Amino acid sequence: MIVFADESLASIAMSLRKVNIEDLLLPVLVQLIVIILVARLFGMLLRKLGQPTVVGEVVAGIAMGPSLFGALFPALSAAVFVPHLEGVPDPITAAMYPKIFSVLSQIGLIFMLFLVGLEFEFHHLKQNGRSAILISLIGVIFPFALGAALAPAIHPYLEAHPVTGLPVPQFGLVLFLGIAMSITALPVLGRMMIEWGINRTQLGAIVITAAAINDAVGWILLASVVALAKAHFDIVDTLKMVGLTIGFSAILFYIARPILIGFFARSLAKSGGTLTLNATAFLIVIMFICATLTNLIGIFAIFGAFLLGAVLSDQDTLREAITNRMRDFVTSFFLPIFFTYTGLRTEISSLNGTTMWLICGAVILAGTVGKLLGCGLAARVSGFSRKESSLVGIMMNTRGLMELIVINVGYDIGAIPKSLFCMLVLMAVVTTIMTTPLIRLFARGTEIETPLRQSGFLNQ
């Protein structure tokens, strides 16, 4: 039996114990209904406007936050996202329900990052390796440098972090802003390329390979920065985290990988290439174990799931079976929750005054120029035409989901305050929305014109 020293805490605990599970569940169900319906609605709407469906899902998440839905219909927004629970103080429910969706969001990201890891097709490196590596590395270095240079200039204008109450550390800001500038949204870009019909073209293969390398580098940088931040920039604790992460990765690759490949090969052979219920359950358990281990190491649970997907990414039959089993549910259920969770953190009102909007413009401009110019020049040096080089830069400038993950991590560890969080969300949305119109503008006369026309995007 739990004994509370404070009577008020005991009273709150008692009120929570008395809550009927159906009463607790009802607001969650209402929120899920709203989130999934709005995500699908925006996805279809943006598709009719010539944008890929995923862009609508990102915009839907922002629209359901305080910047639009909360601003226009504050009472209705509060009723949906900050519900009243009979017998429980409102401040408790206001803190409790966001945590419920935070957990759902993180579970969704574990699944999503596992699928992202599976999509890494390293065999493209044999054909397009030199060009892809150059495009990727310049696509990381140039934007990172711009973000790192911008951070000290904007640091004095940023407010304290709303959770810690402390000013964000400048060194952490430099690192996180650099990473946020340099990331490319591999899963979003991949889905967009499939909708465009260009995923099997040579240009598409090079760009998706460069994006895969870019994100691999980005995740290594992010994991390193998180380790630094979690260790409070203590070199000994940081090296310990890095060492444990390297050890975990080595065990996963050299010991767990052969065992898993053998198990799933036998299972798929018996089931005719489909993932059985038992095999699916086993895979989820392994994925959660990997997530648990990286959580214990201190570099976030999502990294463990990502690493597991990456070490299995060369198993084509297994990847197809897993994708067929998981992708639609993860995409339709978990991703809208994450986008909405991000949207609820995004407050346009935090950009109060001309100075903050100028900083926002500088952030978006630096991120866009860094990718367009850096990746475009690298493609030109690699022998692509001007139009093709422009297309490479445009596609590599797509940020979407991966950008949102990075900035949520930065916010969670106190490296990004609310105003900069809002700016970076806007950058993710703007750079993703601008991709399709610019692709249509530069596609004519290149190898992607025909598939793009056949998909219907070139005529919109």
Is the pLDDT at 459 greater than 70? The verdict is no
Q: How far apart are CA 220 and CA 207, in angstroms?
A: 20
Report CA-CA distances (Å) from 28 to 19, 33, 253, 380, 446. Answer: 14, 9, 39, 51, 49
Instruction: State how far the Cα of 330 lies from the Cα of 251, in Å rounded to an integer.
Output: 28
Show the 3-state SS of 247-312. Answer: HHHHHHHHHHHHHHHHHHHHHHHHHCCCCCHHHHHHHHHHHHHHHHHHHHHCCCHHHHHHHHHHHC
Model pLDDT, residue 8: 67
> What integer pLDDT is reported at residue 89 of this predicted model?
78
Look-up of token digits 């866009």: 368
Could you tell me the two tokens for 405? Answer: 């993950």
pLDDT at 2: 46
126 confidence band (pLDDT: 50, 70, 90): low
Q: Report the pLDDT value the prediction gives residue 219, as an integer from 0 to 100.
A: 74
Instruction: Give one DSSP letter per residue of 138-163, joined into a string.
Output: HHHHHHHHHHHHHHHHHGGGPPPPTT
Res. 286 pLDDT band, cuts 50 70 90: very high
Share above pLDDT 90 across residues of the chain, in percent, rounded to a whole number:
22
**2-11, 84-93, 171-180, 183-192: range with lowest mean pLDDT:** 2-11
**For 40-44, 56-60, 427-431, which range has the lowest pLDDT when averaged over its residues?**
56-60
The mean pLDDT value for 23-30 works out to 88
**What is the pLDDT at residue 102?**
82
Domains defined along the chain, listed by start = 7-102 (no CATH), 104-455 (1.20.1530.20)
Task: For residue range 402-435, list pLDDT tens digits in order.
Answer: 788 888 888 888 888 989 999 998 898 888 888 8
Mean pLDDT of 111-140: 76
Q: How far apart are alpha carbons 199 and 408 in whole angstroms?
A: 29
Cα(291)–Cα(338) distance, integer angstroms: 18
Mean pLDDT rounded to a whole number for the chain: 83
Q: Which two tokens stand for residue 437?
A: 């119109």
- Spatial distance between the Cα atoms of 337 and 142, rounded to a whole number of angstroms: 33
Are the CB atoms for 148 and 363 separated by under 8 Å?
A: no
Query: One-letter amino acid identity for 236?
Result: V
Please name which of 10, 349, 428 lies closest in space to residue 180, comparing C-alpha atoms. Answer: 428
Summarize the confidence of residues 338-358 as an average pLDDT. Answer: 85
Q: Is residue 322 within 8 Å of 275, Cβ to Cβ?
A: yes
- Whole-angstrom distance, CA of residue 131 vs CA of residue 381: 9
Q: Does residue 33 surpass a pLDDT of 90?
A: yes
The percentage of the chain sitting over the pLDDT mark of 70, rounded to a whole number, equals: 92
CB 452, CB 458: distance < 8 Å: yes
When pLDDT is averaged across residues 148-163 and rounded to a whole number, the result is 90
| pLDDT value at 124 more than 60 | no
- Among 27-31, 227-231, 239-243, 398-402, the minimum mean pLDDT is found in 227-231
Quickly state the pLDDT bin for 1 (edges 50, 70, 90). very low
Q: Which of 38-42, 70-74, 388-392 has the lowest mean pLDDT?
A: 70-74
CB 268 within 8 A of CB 260: no
Instruction: Return the closest-CA partner of residue 146 out of 413, 397, 438.
Output: 397
Using pLDDT thresholds of 50, 70 and 90, give the confidence band for residue 128. Answer: low
Highest mean pLDDT, choosing among 162-176, 203-217, 242-256: 242-256
Amino acid 136: pLDDT: 87
| Average pLDDT of the segment spanning 307-336 | 88
